C-alpha cells in the first residue's frame, strides 16, 4: 500500500517537475535578454520640434523605452541644426538631424556619426511665394530675394530647384533666417520667397491664407531624419542600440496605429489636427541605414561645396559618418551598406 502511495507521489512529483522545467526553460528563453538589459543608462536626446520626430513622441507616450537599457530624457529644440549643435557641445547624448544638416556638417570635420534614419519625407520642405507675384516657375525667382535657413534642407532644396532650371544661388538674393523667423521675414516683406519646412509652411498658410502660393515641390527633395551622436565608443553604441530598440517599437506602433500616433503628436507638439492630416501622407516612418543615405549625404556635400554654400572645400568620406553597429543589433535587415 505504502509502495503504491510512493509510486503515486513520485509520478505526481515527476509531472510537477516536468511542468516546472518546461516553464523555466520558456521563461529563461524569452526573458534572458530582458533581464540582462535591466541596467538602465540615463540618456538625453535633443529632439527637433517637428512631426518628423513622431517616433520619439510616440516612444515616450507608449513607454517603449521601458523595456530597453536606457532611461530617456528629451530636450526639445527648433530644428535639426540646433539639435546637432547640442550634440557636438556635449549638452545631450543624441540628437535628431536631417540628412542636409549632416551633409553640411560633414564638411566641418566635426566628429559625429549617424546611427539610424527613422523617417523620410519627399515633401517636407516647400517653396512659398507671394500670390500677387504670380510666380509659376522657379526661373521667375531670378533676381528675387529668397529667405532660407543656412546649412539646412531649406538651402539645399532652393539650390536644387534652381539647378533644375539651370540657375545657381548667385541668381537670387539670399537672406538667412532661423526656421521660425522665416514667416516673419516673409510677412514683413523682407523677402519675396521663402523655403521653409513644416510646420512653418502650414503656419504660413494659416496666417496668410490666399496671400501665399505653395509650390509643388513634392518628390524633388527627399528629407530624412536621423539619430546622431558624437563619434561613438562601445558604451555609446550600446545606448544607441537601446534608443533604436525603443524607436523600433514606436515605429511598429505608428505603422499599426496611425490614428493614435497622430493624436500623440498633436498633443505633444500642440498642433492643429488639420496640420497633421496635411503632412502625414508625405511621411514614411522606418528604420534604415543604407547606401542611398551615404550617396545622398555625399552628393549633397559635394553640391554644397561646389556651389560655395559652405566655406569648406575638402570632399568628406561620408562613410565615416555612418555607424551601423547599433542598428545591426536591432534590425539587421534595415542595414544595407557595403562593409
Partner 1 sequence: MKLSLHHQIYFFTISSCLLFVVLVISILWSTQVIDVASKREQYANMIEGHTNTLKQFITRENIYANNYNAKKWLALEKKFEELLQRVPHLTPQQHTIQNSIESQNRNVIRLFNAINESKLKNANEIIKKHLKIRLLTQLEAIRSDSMQLSTIAQKDIKDIIRNQIIFVLSILALVIFTLVYGAFNVVRIIKTSLKEVKSAFEKNHSGNFQKIQLSNQSEEFNSIAQAFNAMNKKLSSTTVSLASMKKIVEERTHELEQLSNTDPLTKIANRRALFERGHYEFSRARRTKSPLALIMVDCDLFKNINDEFGHLFGDEALKNLCNVCSKEIRNIDFFARYGGEEFIIILPDSELSGAIQTASRIQRSLARNSTKFEGNEVCVTVSIGICAFSDKHNTFEQLINDADKAMYQAKNNGRDRIEIIENDL
Q: Which residues bind partner 1 (CB under 8 A)?
A: 1, 4-5, 7, 11, 15, 18, 120, 122, 160, 163-168, 218-220, 222, 251-252, 255-256, 284-286, 288, 290-292, 295-296, 299, 302-303, 306-307, 332-334, 336
List, in sequence order, every residue forming a beta bridge with 227; answer none if it has no partner: 96, 116
Residue 84: closest CA among 61, 112, 107: 112
* Cβ(88)–Cβ(230) below 8 Å: yes
Distance of CA 85 to the CA centre of its chain: 15
Pairing of the two strands 212-214 and 193-197: unpaired
Which CB, 16 or 207, lies closer to partner 1? 16
Considering only CA atoms, give the Rg of the chain: 25
Instruction: Please count the CA atoms within 13 angstroms of the CA of 275 that sit on its side-chain side.
Output: 23
CA angle 245, 59, 223 (to 5 degrees): 85
Task: At 109, give phi and psi (nearest 5°).
Answer: 60, 25
Which CB, 48 or 120, lies closer to partner 1? 120
Which CB, 32 or 255, lies closer to partner 1? 255
Burial class of residue 286, CB neighbours in 10 A (0-12, 13-18, 19+): middle
* Cβ(103)–Cβ(297) below 8 Å: yes
Min CB(198)–partner 1 separation in Å: 16
Alpha-carbon gap, residue 86 to 93, rounded angstroms? 9
Alpha-carbon gap, residue 259 to 257, rounded angstroms? 6
Which CB, 143 or 333, lies closer to partner 1? 333
Min CB(336)–partner 1 separation in Å: 5
DSSP-derived 3-state class of residue 300: helix
Which CB, 218 or 320, lies closer to partner 1? 218
Which CB, 231 or 308, lies closer to partner 1? 308
Min CB(261)–partner 1 separation in Å: 12
Min CB(296)–partner 1 separation in Å: 5
Min CB(255)–partner 1 separation in Å: 4
Min CB(123)–partner 1 separation in Å: 9
Min CB(154)–partner 1 separation in Å: 17
Alpha-carbon gap, residue 14 to 199, rounded angstroms? 65
DSSP-derived 3-state class of residue 313: coil
Q: Helix crossing, 234-256 with 54-61: angle to 10°? A: 90
Which CB, 83 or 101, lies closer to partner 1? 101
Which CB, 55 or 179, lies closer to partner 1? 55
Which CB, 62 or 83, lies closer to partner 1? 62
* Cβ(177)–Cβ(155) below 8 Å: no
Min CB(156)–partner 1 separation in Å: 11
Q: Residue 195 region, left (φ>0) first, then alpha (ψ -120 to 50), else beta?
A: beta
Min CB(319)–partner 1 separation in Å: 14
Amino acid at each position: 500500500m505504502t509502495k503504491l502511495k510512493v509510486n503515486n507521489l513520485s509520478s505526481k512529483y515527476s509531472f510537477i517537475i516536468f511542468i516546472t522545467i518546461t516553464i523555466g526553460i520558456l521563461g529563461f528563453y524569452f526573458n534572458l535578454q530582458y533581464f540582462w538589459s535591466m541596467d538602465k543608462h540615463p540618456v538625453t536626446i535633443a529632439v527637433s520640434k517637428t512631426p518628423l520626430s513622431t517616433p520619439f513622441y510616440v516612444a515616450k507616450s507608449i513607454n517603449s523605452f521601458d523595456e530597453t537599457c536606457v532611461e530617456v530624457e528629451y530636450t526639445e529644440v527648433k530644428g535639426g541644426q540646433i539639435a546637432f549643435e547640442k550634440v557636438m557641445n556635449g549638452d545631450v547624448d543624441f540628437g535628431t538631424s536631417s540628412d542636409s544638416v549632416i551633409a553640411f556638417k560633414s564638411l566641418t570635420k566635426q566628429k559625429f556619426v549617424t546611427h539610424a534614419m527613422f523617417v523620410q519625407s519627399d515633401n517636407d520642405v516647400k517653396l512659398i511665394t507671394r500670390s500677387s507675384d504670380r510666380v509659376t516657375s522657379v526661373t521667375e525667382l531670378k533676381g528675387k530675394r529668397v529667405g532660407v535657413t543656412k546649412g539646412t534642407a531649406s538651402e539645399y532644396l532652393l539650390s536644387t530647384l534652381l539647378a533644375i532650371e539651370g540657375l545657381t544661388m548667385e541668381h537670387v538674393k539670399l537672406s538667412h533666417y532661423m526656421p521660425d523667423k522665416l514667416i516673419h521675414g516673409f510677412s514683413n516683406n523682407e523677402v519675396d520667397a521663402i523655403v521653409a519646412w513644416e510646420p512653418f509652411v502650414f503656419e504660413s498658410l494659416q496666417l496668410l491664407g490666399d496671400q501665399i502660393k505653395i509650390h509643388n515641390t513634392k518628390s524633388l527633395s527627399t528629407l530624412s531624419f536621423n539619430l546622431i551622436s558624437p563619434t561613438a565608443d562601445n558604451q555609446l553604441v550600446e545606448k544607441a542600440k537601446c534608443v533604436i530598440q525603443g524607436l523600433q517599437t514606436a515605429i511598429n506602433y505608428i505603422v499599426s496605429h496611425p490614428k493614435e500616433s497622430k493624436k500623440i503628436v498633436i498633443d505633444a507638439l500642440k498642433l492643429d489636427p488639420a496640420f497633421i492630416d496635411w503632412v502625414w501622407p508625405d511621411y514614411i516612418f522606418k528604420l534604415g541605414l543604407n547606401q542611398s543615405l551615404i550617396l545622398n549625404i555625399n552628393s549633397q556635400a559635394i553640391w554644397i561645396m561646389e556651389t560655395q554654400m559652405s566655406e569648406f572645400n575638402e570632399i568628406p568620406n561620408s562613410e565615416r559618418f555612418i555607424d551601423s553597429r547599433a542598428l545591426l543589433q536591432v534590425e539587421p535587415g534595415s542595414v544595407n551598406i557595403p562593409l
